[in-house]
């Protein structure tokens, strides 16, 4: 159909009220995936926490219904005003629920001094994206109720009876028209709520999971110091220093607890006005600046660094575990989901306050200071050893031409433009042989692996580089490894993990993703890693052939042809597929299905990697026991 060149005032659309939210939900909650789904709950919880920050609420209750898709948040704060708004001429409660950028957190001298929600869209967005929402307000000895359907009120707020105390209760069901068939994760909710109680002394949160018939009272009067101890214990790390705890009262205020451990990586959990900031920001930059300067100054004063070793900022912070809770009067967040703080004053305030206090603490506690510097020196020496090993990889990687010093099993492609080429990392020599025959030799390269690779979550960079399979991957990609990764030197535009569609294949994919996450993370952040989706079943119905990814896909195909006779073939592995069939189903860019690995939710990714691939086997045991009933096939 020909495109029209007509463009007049009639082509300009105006979305009234909350229609814009339903039209483009990703602009307000980051997406309609599991992360966006839970973000609705965080918005309501954050409003309740803001009441606590302001000194008006002490208790928050969260109830997850047995259905898993409806949740209630109740606080004992002041309660949203229900009287008539002076300019809108309707209840202030309805204004807040139906109008973007309406709230009590905009004015400097308004109802809130510091809060997590300054955009004024949280409650209205939740309302817009919920199939049902009910809000109850307790104020002035009375209780009021207002109900909504997909953002539209069923009527004005009504008085339903007398009430003791004050506060707000919000119950909502995310709209399945927006979020498909999703449900709330009770474990994730409990973890996030417990973090709130660590960050806010005196706050009690009661979480009830009615599906599991459990009720938890979460309360931590020790604050961020207790949080730090819990994080170190969960990571099964050994502390090499005592905790350093510091707070500042004037805005921007903060609470800080940090220590050094024997872990190989830095871990910083930061929050702004009670909101987690997994993407960091200026407050984290200020803390990093302060820690680096303080430890370097102490080491130089006492001449603790060996001659010839220059400590980098990464050396100083290796093994650092820090909990930072910052309060900013008018925080500038990057995006509505508030994943990163951009307020410049936070960086200077953290640096100016933490640096002299930490340096003084080191001088007054020489045993702690010497242990920290020794840990830092050890990191510096390990960095140099890893750099030399990585340099050997880089020297052997091709700098010009595509066939110089490549792994012996790699079948390279002819294309020299990385943007036009892709590398398939294949499980086993048998599948690798089929893929080599099936591929387009001009643009597709194949690297077969032998067996399951090393778990990089539990290995140092030096140990990773000593592993032949992972070493071959690094050589083939040619972009460096560890801190030296350069995406601009990547030899292939896409790296595709091609594994069997069974439990072993999924495990190998997980191991490879762990390797990329820990030692080539930039490739994930740039969206260069993909999972191939080979079919597990071939379904022949008459003269038509269908390819099913798994049992659910197979059953869908059979339901769509209820009266037809179907012949079903299950593939035990990719090596069983003839090359032509493998190309048609899995390698052909015009017909294949690829899953792009997304790292947008860095906080969840870190949690999953730590729980499923880390040193603590108890988290894997708990995961297996929790999901055992969902398993349909066991590969024993």
Domain spans of the chain, in order of start: 19-218, 224-384, 397-534+595-630
CA 376, 380, 384: angle at the middle one, nearest 5?
170
d(CA 412, CA 479): 16
d(CA 611, CA 235): 9
Helix (H, G, I), strand (E, B) or coil at 532: strand
Q: Classify 68 in phi/psi space as left (phi over 0), alpha (psi -120 to 50) or beta.
A: left
What CATH number belongs to 224-384? Answer: 3.30.230.10
Predicted confidence at residue 25, as pLDDT, reads: 81
Predicted confidence at residue 170, as pLDDT, reads: 97
d(CA 466, CA 528): 24
DSSP secondary structure letter of residue 141: T
d(CA 268, CA 256): 11
This model's pTM is above 0.75:
no
d(CA 606, CA 455): 15
Mean pLDDT computed over 500-515: 84
Helix (H) or strand (E) holding 436: helix 429-438
| Confidence at 86, pLDDT banded by 50, 70, 90 | confident
Nearest to 284 by CA among 354, 231, 230: 354
Predicted confidence at residue 603, as pLDDT, reads: 64
Token readout for 459 is: 């290995």
Handedness of CA 378, 380, 381, 386 (dihedral sign): positive
DSSP secondary structure letter of residue 409: T
d(CA 57, CA 413): 64
Mean pLDDT computed over 478-501: 86
Helical residues (DSSP H) of 520-578, grouped into ranges: 521-525, 551-560
d(CA 447, CA 425): 5
Pairing state between β 566-570 and 537-541: antiparallel
Distances (CA, A) of 278 to 144, 283, 310: 37, 12, 30
pLDDT in tens, 419-467: 899 999 998 878 888 889 989 999 999 999 887 788 888 777 778 878 8
Predicted confidence at residue 5, as pLDDT, reads: 55
d(CA 301, CA 311): 14
Tell me, yes or no, if the two domains 19-218 and 224-384 fold the same way: no
Predicted confidence at residue 54, as pLDDT, reads: 85
Question: Does residue 599 or residue 583 have the better pLDDT?
Answer: 583
Q: How far apart are the first and last CA of the chain?
A: 55
Residue 210 neighbours by CB distance under 10 Å:
16
397-534+595-630 placed in CATH 3.40.50.670: yes
Percent of the chain at pLDDT exceeding 70: 86
Helix (H) or strand (E) holding 583: none
Handedness of CA 101, 104, 109, 115 (dihedral sign): negative
d(CA 108, CA 128): 28
Token readout for 456 is: 């990089």
Nearest to 200 by CA among 54, 65, 27, 357: 54
Mean pLDDT computed over 459-482: 84
- Please state which of the ranges 100-114, 352-366, 552-566 shows the lowest mean pLDDT: 100-114
Dihedral pair phi/psi, residue 134, rounded to 5°: -130, 130
Token readout for 591 is: 């017909």
Mean pLDDT computed over 549-578: 86
Predicted confidence at residue 387, as pLDDT, reads: 72
> What torsion, rounded to 10 degrees, do the Cα atoms 566, 572, 573, 579 define?
-40
Token readout for 30 is: 């980051």
List strand residue ranges (DSSP E) for 431-526, in order.
444-449, 494-498
Topology at the third CATH level for domain 19-218: Heat Shock Protein 90 (3.30.565)
pLDDT in tens, 611-623: 777 666 666 666 6
Residue 386 neighbours by CB distance under 10 Å:
21
Active site residues: 427, 500, 502, 504
- The DSSP bridge partners found for residue 425 are 447, 497
Helix (H, G, I), strand (E, B) or coil at 596: strand
d(CA 597, CA 527): 7
Residue 518: burial class (beta carbons within 10 Å; 0-12, 13-18, 19+): buried
d(CA 613, CA 227): 22
Query: Residue 596: CB partners within 8 Å, gap ≥ 6?
Result: 527, 529, 530
- Maximum alpha-carbon separation in the chain: 84
């Amino acid at each position: 159909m020909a495109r029209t060149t007509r463009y007049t005032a009639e082509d300009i659309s105006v979305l009234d009220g909350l229609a814009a939210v339903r039209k483009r939900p990703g602009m307000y909650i980051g997406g309609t995936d599991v992360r966006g789904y839970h973000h609705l709950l965080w918005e309501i919880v954050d409003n309740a926490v803001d009441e606590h920050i302001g000194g008006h609420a002490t208790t928050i209750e969260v109830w997850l219904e047995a259905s898993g898709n409806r949740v209630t948040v109740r606080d004992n704060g002041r309660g949203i005003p229900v009287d008539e708004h002076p300019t809108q001429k309707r209840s202030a409660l309805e204004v807040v629920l139906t109008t973007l950028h309406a709230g009590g957190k905009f004015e400097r001298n308004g109802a809130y001094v510091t809060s997590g929600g300054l955009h004024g869209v949280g409650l209205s967005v939740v309302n817009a994206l919920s199939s049902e929402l009910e809000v109850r307000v307790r104020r002035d000895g009375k209780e009021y109720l207002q109900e909504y359907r997909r953002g539209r009120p069923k009527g004005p707020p009504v008085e339903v009876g007398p009430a003791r105390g004050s506060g707000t209760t919000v119950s909502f069901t995310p709209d399945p028209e927006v979020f498909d068939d999703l449900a709330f994760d009770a474990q994730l909710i409990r973890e996030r709520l417990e973090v709130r109680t660590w960050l806010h002394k005196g706050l009690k949160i009661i979480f009830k999971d009615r599906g599991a018939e459990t009720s938890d009272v979460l309360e931590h009067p020790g604050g961020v110091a207790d949080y730090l101890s819990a994080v170190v214990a969960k990571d099964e790390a050994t502390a090499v220093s005592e905790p350093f705890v510091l707070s500042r009262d004037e805005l921007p205020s903060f609470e800080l607890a940090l220590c050094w451990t024997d872990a190989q990586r830095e871990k910083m959990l930061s929050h702004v006005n009670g909101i987690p900031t997994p993407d960091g920001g200026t407050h984290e930059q200020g803390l990093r600046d302060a820690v680096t300067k303080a430890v370097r100054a102490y080491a130089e004063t006492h001449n603790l660094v060996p001659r010839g070793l220059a400590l980098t900022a990464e050396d100083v912070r290796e093994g650092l575990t820090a909990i930072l809770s910052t309060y900013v009067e008018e925080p500038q967040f990057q995006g509505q989901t508030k994943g990163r703080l951009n307020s410049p004053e936070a960086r200077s305030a953290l640096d100016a306050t933490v640096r002299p206090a930490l340096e003084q603490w080191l001088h007054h506690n020489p045993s702690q200071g010497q242990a920290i510097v020794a840990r830092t020196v050890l990191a510096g020496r390990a960095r140099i050893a890893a750099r030399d090993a990585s340099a050997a990889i880089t020297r052997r990687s091709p700098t010009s031409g595509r066939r110089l010093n490549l792994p012996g099993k790699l079948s390279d492609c002819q294309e020299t433009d990385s943007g036009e080429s892709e590398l398939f990392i294949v499980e086993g020599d048998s599948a690798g042989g089929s893929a080599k025959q099936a591929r387009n030799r001009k643009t597709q390269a194949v690297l077969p692996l032998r067996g399951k690779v090393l778990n990089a979550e539990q290995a140092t960079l030096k140990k990773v580089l000593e592993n032949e399979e992972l070493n071959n991957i690094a050589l083939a990609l040619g972009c460096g490894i560890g801190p030296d990764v350069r995406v601009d030197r990547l030899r292939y535009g896409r790296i595709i993990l091609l594994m069997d569609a069974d439990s072993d294949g999924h495990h190998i994919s997980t191991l490879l993703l762990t390797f990329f996450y820990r030692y080539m993370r930039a490739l994930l952040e740039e969206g260069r890693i993909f999972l191939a989706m080979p079919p597990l079943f071939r379904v022949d119905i008459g003269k038509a052939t269908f390819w099913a990814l798994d049992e659910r896909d197979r059953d869908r195909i059979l339901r769509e042809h209820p009266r037809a006779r179907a012949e079903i073939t299950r593939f035990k592995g990719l090596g069983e597929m003839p090359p032509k069939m493998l190309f048609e189903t899995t390698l052909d860019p015009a017909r294949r299905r690829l899953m792009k690995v997304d790292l947008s939710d860095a906080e969840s990714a870190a949690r999953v990697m730590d729980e499923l691939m880390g040193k603590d086997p108890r988290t894997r045991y708990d995961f297996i026991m929790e999901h055992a009933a969902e398993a349909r096939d066991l590969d024993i």
